[in-house]
A = this chain, B = another copy of it.
Amino acid sequence: MSTPEAWPDLAGRIEDGIHLLPIRIYYEDTDFSGIVYHANYLRFAERSRSDFLRLAGVHHHELFEGDNPLAFAIHRMEMDFVRPARIDDVLEVRTRYVTAKGARLEVLQSIWRGDEELWRAKVMAAVIDQQGKPRRLPKSVVAKLSPLVRPLTVSS
C-alpha cells in the first residue's frame, strides 16, 4: 500500500538543521539542449522547503484554516547556476532556514551532485494574509521552526 510509512525517506531528512532531499532527474526535467531546464531547480528547491516544514510538523492547514488564512509568499530570490545537471543524475537539495521571526523567513538552499555544487539560492519569504498584508508567523509555527533555525553568524 502507498502509505508514507512504506517509504521512510520520502520527505528527506533534517540533519543538524539542514534538510537533505534526494532528487532524481527524469525526462520531464531536461530540455533539448541536453541539460536540466533552469526553472526546474526552483521546483526542486520548493520540494525541499515543503518537506522541511513537513518534518518540522508545520502543516498547510495551520496556515490556511481560520478566519483569515495565511500563506507563505516568496518576495525575492537570488540564485547562481554553477554547473548543469543531466538526465539520470541523483541530486541532493540542502535547505537551511536562517530566519523565522515576525513575518519574515529567510532560507539558504543549494543543490549538489556528490561534492559538486550545481545551484545555490537565497530565498526571502513572508507570511501574508488574504489581502496580501504581512502577518506575524503563528506562535505554533514559530515554536516548531525555532529549534531548527540556524541563523547566519559572522563566521558562517
Residues of A near any B CB (own CB < 8 A): 1-4, 6-11, 20, 22, 24, 26-28, 30-35, 37-40, 42-43, 46-47, 50-51, 54, 59-60, 71, 73-84, 86-88, 90-92, 112-115, 132
Contacts and interface: CB of A to CB of B under 8 A. Distances in A.
A65 to B, nearest CB: 13
Copies in the complex: 4
A2 B90 contact: yes
Given A32-B34, A73-B81, A79-B77, A26 B2 contact: no
B30 A90 contact: no
A62 to B, nearest CB: 13
Contacts of A31: 27-28, 30-32
Nearest to A42: B39
A24 B38 contact: no
Contacts of A73: 81, 84
A4 B90 contact: yes
Contacts of A87: 32, 60
Given A11-B24, A46-B28, A50-B27, A33 B90 contact: no
Contacts of A7: 9, 22, 90
Contacts of A50: 26-27
Contacts of A2: 20, 22, 90-92, 112-114
A111 to B, nearest CB: 9
